[in-house]
Amino acid sequence: MTKAVQKLIDEEFQGIVHLRTSTLHKKIASARLDFIKLSGSENELEALLQVLEPSLAKGNKKKKVG
């Protein structure tokens, strides 16, 4: 994750806990991927918010990890 993306996430979702792992590419049953196509002129950080906001609106913001 770039520093700019991490800063945006930290600002938008205060108190968020970042998890890092060396096993990033191992399959997790509850994981979900969302992709959107971007043109070269679109703002990537705004696009990230478009992907995250619907999930957070459903109440996933309060889920505990671990």
Q: What is the pLDDT along the chain (66 residues), one digit of tens a residue?
A: 788 988 988 998 888 888 877 776 677 788 777 777 888 898 888 888 887 888 778 775 455 554
Residue 46 structural domain: 3-59
Q: Is residue 66 part of a domain?
A: no
Q: What local confidence, expressed as pLDDT, does residue 40 receive?
A: 85
Q: Is residue 53 part of a domain?
A: yes
Q: What local confidence, expressed as pLDDT, does residue 61 receive?
A: 47
Q: What local confidence, expressed as pLDDT, does residue 65 receive?
A: 52
Q: Report the candidate in 29, 27, 51 with the shortest Cα–Cα distance to residue 38.
A: 51
Q: Is residue 45 part of a domain?
A: yes
| Helical spans, DSSP H, in 1-66 | 3-12, 44-57
